[in-house]
Amino acid sequence: MDMIFEYAVNIIYALLIFFIGKWVAKELTGFIAKMMHKNPKLDDMLINFFEDILYYLLLVVVILTALEQVGVETTSFLAVLGAAGLAVGLALKDSLSNFASGVMLIFFKPFKVGDVVTAGGVTGKVTEIHLFNTEFTTPDNQKILVPNSGITGGNIVNINAHEKRRVDLVVGIGYDDDIKKAKEVLTSIINANEKVLLDDGITVAVSELGDSSVNFVVRAWVNTPDYWDVKFNLTETIKTTFDAEGISIPYPQTDVHVYKEKK
């Protein structure tokens, strides 16, 4: 009867340890998460992730403590748990790599949802950032899921990270054309575009004497959302204006001479 009483008391203590410990773990993780939410630099997904990890780690400690109270040998249990964790880790190393990369993406924020990014061999708008993969929407509206390890393992180009972008064009004219006139035409075309940020300066200069053309470099700053509209508009306007002004745009061509062999 004494053994039964002692065992019953230990079970009651173990249950108290479990339920009180579980409550303390929940309150403690909730308090830490609340403090982390006050930091605007921390992402909500990252905070929720660490909150869950901390809670379950504390819960494991509580369970082991409760098991020790009823006489369960936890040392061997921890050894088995460690071996099982190692085996699972080796089997899921690729998934764990994606998971670690996802944490890095959320913590360091090389891009955010809504940015247009080139990463992992894909260019598109970031629609979702998950712990194991990132979801992109391509310009032709395809949905692509890229493993996070493939993103962090290479270069990441955040196309619209800044408010302004520079439009760069290379325009060639013939060697017989008037360079001064071509430069004036190009300058007037840029100045006439309402979306070009003229206060940031423009560049129209001869950059190269090519094999068949004199090449101008044309540079203008625009707001990032206007980049493609301005680039397409300038390209078309330059072609039509050059045609109207009689300025040629050379293109590669090959002259083939055929000689008739005399017999």
The C-alpha atoms of residue 170 and residue 39 are separated, in whole angstroms, by 46
Q: Taking the domains of the chain in order of start, what are their residue ranges?
A: 2-91, 110-158, 164-245
User: Which pLDDT belongs to residue 63?
Assistant: 82
Q: Tell me, yes or no, if the two domains 2-91 and 110-158 fold the same way.
A: no
Residues 116-164: pLDDT tens digits? 999 988 999 999 888 788 999 998 999 999 998 889 888 999 998 899 9
Helix axes 93-108 and 44-69, enclosed angle (nearest 10): 130
Q: Apex CA 102: angle with CA 99 and CA 108, to 5°? A: 140
Q: What's the CATH number for 164-245?
A: 3.30.70.100
pLDDT in tens, the chain (263 residues): 666 666 677 788 888 888 888 888 888 888 888 887 777 766 666 677 677 778 878 888 888 888 777 776 666 666 666 666 666 555 555 677 877 888 788 777 888 888 999 998 899 999 988 878 899 999 899 999 999 888 988 899 999 889 999 999 999 999 999 999 999 999 999 999 999 999 999 999 999 998 889 999 999 999 999 999 999 999 999 999 999 999 998 877 666 777 777 66
Which pTM value belongs to this model? 0.64
* DSSP string covering 93-148: HHHHHHHHHHHHHHHH-SS-TT-EEEETTEEEEEEEE-SSEEEEE-TT--EEEEEH
User: Do 98 and 133 contact (CB within 8 A), yes or no?
Assistant: yes
Q: What's the CATH number for 2-91?
A: 1.10.287.1260
* DSSP string covering 179-244: HHHHHHHHHHHHHH-TTB-GGG-EEEEEEEE-SS-EEEEEEEEEEGGGHHHHHHHHHHHHHHHHHH
> Do the bridges between strand 164-173 and strand 157-158 make them parallel or antiparallel, or are there none, so unpaired?
unpaired
User: Which pLDDT belongs to residue 43?
Assistant: 66
Q: What amino acid occupies position 38? A: K
Residues 1-11: pLDDT tens digits? 666 666 677 78
CATH class given for the domain over 110-158? mainly beta
User: Which pLDDT belongs to residue 245?
Assistant: 93
